[in-house]
C-alpha cells in the first residue's frame, strides 16, 4: 500500500505559496488516492526549532497551523494529522540515522551551504556562521529522513528545495520499502515585495506574503503595494516582469473562469496596473473567503475540537511509527 508523508513547519500561518505549492495537493490527495493509501501530514515543530523560536509564539503557531490545515479541508478522519513532537519515534530514528550520516556528506547539502554563506544578521553581531548555526540545523536532512522512514512512506511530496534532502532518505533504506519523490509541486509563488525570491513565512516583511487567513482589506493592501514595474500594460513574462507575472499566476489560481496566466494577460493587456491589482485582489479575496471563515470558527470557539484532533492524530501516528521502530531496533541490535 502507498504511504504518503508530508510536513509543514509551524513558523507562521501558511501563506499562498504553501497553499499553492503544497497544501492544496494534500487536500486533493484525499480525493484522488485509493482509500487504502495512508496519508500522513505533520506539523513539524521539531524542524521549526532548528532556528530560534519564542516558546509562546511557537505554541500559538502550532495551533494556528492545525486550524489552518483543517480550514483548507484536511479531513482528520481520512488523513493522519499530528504534531511531530508528539511522536518521539521521529527523534529516536533520527538519532539512529545520525549515526550513519557522514559529516562531509551533510556539509555538502546546498541548503546548509547557503545558510553558512549568509551574512551574519544584525542582532547576532558578527559571529561567524559556524558558531551561529546549530547542530540541529546541520542535521535537518537527517530528521527529515526519519520523518519519512519512520512511517515507511512510499511517496513524499516536497518542493524543489527539498529534493536533495530526499536523496539522503533514499540512501537509507534499512528494512524499508523503496520510496519515491512525489511529483513536485508545479508552482512557486513569489514574494510580493521581491518577486525574484519565493514567498516565505519567515521573511521579515509581513506584506511580502498573503496568509490564507488574511482579511479582505489586508489582501487588497498587500496586493496594491506589491512590487511591479513601469512597463505599460499587462503581459506575462517571468524573466522580464516578475512582479506582474506573479500577480497573473495568483489571479489564474483563483480565477472563477479558470483562465491561464497567458489568457489573463491577453484579456487585460491594456489595463492600468492599479485596476489590474484590484481585480487580482477580488479573485484572491473570493478564493480565500471560505478558508478564512472556517479558520476563524476553529480558532475562536473550537479549542476542544483542536485538542481532540491533535490527540487523535498523535495516537494514529504513534502506532504507525512504533511498527517501524520495532523492526529498526531489532536490525540495529538495540
Q: List, by residue number, the catalytic residues.
A: 115, 198, 201
Nearest Cα neighbor of 182 from 15, 64, 69, 21 is 21
Using the rule CB under 6 A, is 156 a contact of ligand ATP?
no
Asked whether position 73 contacts ligand ATP by CB under 6 A, the answer is no
**With the CA atoms of 284, 286, 292 and 297 taken in that order, what torsion angle do they form, in degrees rounded to the nearest 10?**
180
| CA neighbor of 250 nearest in space, from 264, 240, 237 | 264
Q: Which of 158, 211, 244, 321 binds ligand ATP (CB under 6 A)?
A: 158
Nearest distance from C-beta of residue 302 to ligand ATP, angstroms? 23
β-partners of residue 3 are 38
Give min distance, CB of 250 to ligand ATP, in A: 11
Residues 256-275 binding ligand ATP (CB under 6 A) are none
Applying CB under 6 A, the span of 8-16, 32-40, 101-109, 309-317 interacting with ligand ATP comes to 8-16
Q: Pick the closest to residue 51 from 13, 10, 92 (CA basis).
A: 10
Asked if residue 281 binds ligand ATP (CB under 6 A), the reply is no
Residue with cell 520523518: 147
Is the CB of 17 or the CB of 141 nearer to ligand ATP?
17
Query: CB-wise, 182 or 295, nearer to ligand ATP?
Result: 182
* Cβ(191)–Cβ(200) below 8 Å: yes
> Could you say which of 100, 196, 202, 266 contacts ligand ATP (CB under 6 A)?
202
Of 4, 8, 29, 72, which lies in the binding site for ligand ATP, with binding defined by CB under 6 A? 8
Of the chain, the end-to-end C-alpha distance in Å amounts to: 28
> Do the beta carbons of residue 46 and residue 238 sit within 8 Å?
no
Cα(16)–Cα(138) distance, integer angstroms: 28
Report phi then psi at 52, rounded to 5: -55, 135
Residue from the set 81, 89, 169, 199 that interacts with ligand ATP by CB under 6 A: 199
Looking at 82-209, list the stretches that DSSP marks H as alpha helix, in order from N- to C-terminal side. 89-98, 103-107, 110-117, 129-132, 135-138, 140-150, 163-171
For residues 169-198, which are near ligand ATP according to CB under 6 A? 185, 188-189, 198
**x/- map, 18-57, ligand ATP, by CB under 6 A:** x-xxx-----------------------------------
Pick one of 90, 201, 241, 292: the residue that binds ligand ATP (CB under 6 A): 201
Q: Give the nearer residue to ligand ATP in terms of CB position, either 96 or 156.
A: 156
Per the DSSP assignment, residues forming a β-bridge with 40 are: 5, 80
Rule CB under 6 A: which residues touch ligand ATP? 8-9, 11, 17-18, 20-22, 158-159, 161, 185, 188-189, 198-202
Amino acid at each position: 500500500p502507498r504511504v504518503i508523508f508530508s510536513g509543514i513547519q509551524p513558523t507562521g500561518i501558511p501563506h499562498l505559496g504553501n497553499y499553492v505549492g503544497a497544501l492544496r495537493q494534500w487536500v486533493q490527495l484525499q480525493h484522488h488516492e485509493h482509500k487504502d493509501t495512508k496519508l500522513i501530514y505533520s506539523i513539524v515543530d521539531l524542524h521549526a526549532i532548528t532556528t530560534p523560536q519564542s516558546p509562546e509564539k511557537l505554541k500559538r503557531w502550532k495551533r494556528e497551523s492545525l486550524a489552518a490545515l483543517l480550514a483548507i479541508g484536511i479531513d482528520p478522519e481520512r488523513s493522519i494529522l499530528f504534531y511531530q513532537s508528539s511522536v518521539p519515534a521521529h527523534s529516536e530514528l533520527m538519532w539512529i540515522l545520525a549515526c550513519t550520516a557522514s559529516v562531509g556528506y551533510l556539509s555538502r547539502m546546498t541548503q546548509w551551504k547557503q545558510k553558512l554563506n549568509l551574512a551574519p544578521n544584525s542582532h547576532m553581531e558578527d559571529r561567524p556562521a559556524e558558531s551561529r548555526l546549530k547542530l540541529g540545523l546541520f542535521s535537518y536532512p537527517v530528521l527529515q529522513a526519519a520523518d519519512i522512514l519512520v512511517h515507511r512512506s512510499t511517496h513524499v511530496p516536497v518542493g524543489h528545495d527539498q529534493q536533495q534532502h530526499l536523496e539522503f532518505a533514499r540512501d537509507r533504506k534499512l528494512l524499508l520499502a523503496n520510496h519515491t519523490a512525489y511529483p513536485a509541486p508545479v508552482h512557486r509563488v513569489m514574494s510580493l515585495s521581491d518577486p525574484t525570491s519565493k514567498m516565505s513565512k519567515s521573511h521579515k516583511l509581513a506584506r511580502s506574503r498573503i496568509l490564507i487567513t488574511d482579511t479582505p482589506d489586508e489582501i487588497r493592501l498587500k496586493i496594491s503595494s506589491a512590487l511591479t514595474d513601469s512597463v505599460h500594460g499587462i503581459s506575462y513574462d517571468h524573466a522580464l516582469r516578475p512582479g506582474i507575472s506573479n500577480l497573473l499566476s495568483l489571479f489564474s489560481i483563483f480565477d472563477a473562469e479558470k483562465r491561464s496566466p497567458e489568457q489573463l494577460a491577453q484579456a487585460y493587456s491594456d489595463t492600468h496596473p492599479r485596476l489590474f491589482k484590484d481585480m487580482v485582489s477580488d479573485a484572491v479575496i473570493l478564493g480565500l473567503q471560505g478558508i478564512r471563515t472556517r479558520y476563524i470558527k476553529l480558532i475562536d470557539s473550537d479549542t476542544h475540537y483542536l485538542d481532540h484532533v491533535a490527540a487523535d492524530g498523535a495516537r494514529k501516528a504513534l502506532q504507525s511509527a512504533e511498527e517501524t521502530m520495532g523492526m529498526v531496533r531489532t536490525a540495529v541490535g538495540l
